[in-house]
Chain A
Amino acid sequence: MDDLALHARVQAGDPSALEELYGRYAPSAFGLALRVTGDATLAQDVVQDAFLALWDRPRAFDPDRGPLRTWLLALVHHRAVDAVRREARLRERATRAANLEPPAVEDPADEVVEDADLAERRRRVREALAGLPADQRRVIEMAYFDGKTQPEIASELKIPLGTVKTRTFAAMRRLRAAMEGPARAEVASDGRAGGRAGGWEDA
């Protein structure tokens, strides 16, 4: 059953549909929340909140604006960043630097079997990130995975705020170009290919 059908069942109040979506996306959600918060307890709260938000307000998801997975993970990311910033106000997080990179060795018991499409998308975005110049990759990782604001990044890296902004934009543009090529067929299968307007012309 595809995500949209499950979403329709969630909307109709069927808890088994929510559980099926949980089975599908909880590992992605938990992995993301864990990477951003660096804290398993916070990450669990974030994941539970996100799935409850889907249960409580299923119509907040608009299928015209992209796949359910993207919406759900954006919700997870947003809540994880919020949680990190709340925590940051309470204590210093110097140790979190270790969480910038995914753990090199994962417990085999944690290994997650995913469908081929998801695994392929994952491979592509990781390759795109790995292909960025190091200084661009750093600002993206600090912003997205560490929940830092651009002024915080500037002061931590001791570079001007303007540089952080231009690096971020350059990185996003490169990521998009890198993910674009082989992604086309799949984008089309999302039914969203037709809407791609070339909004990224060079100045």
Chain B
Amino acid sequence: MSDPHDEALLAGYVLGALGPEDERAAERHLREHLPGCASCRATLEELRSVAGELALAAAPRRPPALLLPRLRRAVERRARTRRLRPASVAAGVVLAAALGGLGIVRGGPGGVAEAGLLTQLSPEHLDQALALTARTDAQAVAVGPATEVHAPGLDHFYVFGRDVPLPPPGSVYRLWLVGAAGYRYLGEFRPAPDGTVVLRIEAQPQAWDGVLVTLEPAGSAPSEPGRPMWSSAG
């Protein structure tokens, strides 16, 4: 129960087989114990790699011939919106020009941040984001120097980083959701003096292509994304 190095709990966790009560215990364990325990972190990685190999114990089966054309059609449907997004938005104006030229609606429902969608947490809450990272089903995507992490079934996700440069004086970072239909403004954030950023976003990441960080003059109206800095929208 109070075993500080609960390896059996981790074994059930990597298999995705814990009951609801243990699932909560595991998440607490990952949040409170793992960051400070190298031995448990190593155990978790080992267990994960064993769980990964188990996939190969199932006999391979040729999928029905119709599945590939089906996948191809789904990819083609997405290709149109995908082409609107250059691979790297670090190139700055390219993105704005491409979207502007194609008449994409910007700002989503108004250019005004909806209250409560974005919460900037203090650096000591970094463990919340790290705990989510430790989930087997979590997905982490780079957002420049920061990381976006989300997991299926959650109605929120995190963007966090340790070495995010401070914006130049007179400028602010703004965070936007990027979707096929345009952007939704989430709000401004500022890294702590040591560069730590912990942002919690109340949105289902599956409904969006990713997030975009822009650098904009402080006090300007956030009617549409300004200079793109980093994005997770691939």
Contacts and interface: CB of A to CB of B under 8 A. Distances in A.
Given A19-B68, A55-B78, A103 B83 contact: no
Contact of A66 (B16, B22, B49, B137): B49
A172 B43 CA distance: 11
Contacts of B15: 140, 143-144, 168, 172
Contact of A199 (B43, B60, B72): B43
Interface residues of B, number: 63
Interface in A122-137: 122, 124-126, 129
A150 to B, nearest CB: 5
B60 A60 contact: no
A29 B60 CA distance: 7
Interface string A71-84: 00110111001100
Contacts of B11: 165, 168-169, 172
B144 to A, nearest CB: 12
Interface of A: prevailing SS: helix
A15 B70 contact: no
Interface of A: 11-13, 15, 18-19, 22, 26-32, 34-36, 40, 43-44, 47-48, 51-52, 55-60, 62, 66, 70, 73-74, 76-78, 81-82, 102-103, 106, 109-112, 114, 118, 121-122, 124-126, 129, 140, 143-145, 147-153, 161, 165-166, 168-169, 172, 175-176, 179, 195-201
* A-B complex: 5 closest residue pairs judged by Cβ atoms: A199-B42, A143-B17, A73-B55, A60-B139, A27-B60
Interface of B: 7-9, 11-12, 14-19, 22, 38-64, 67-68, 70-72, 74-76, 78-79, 82-83, 87, 136-137, 139-142, 152, 209-210, 232, 234
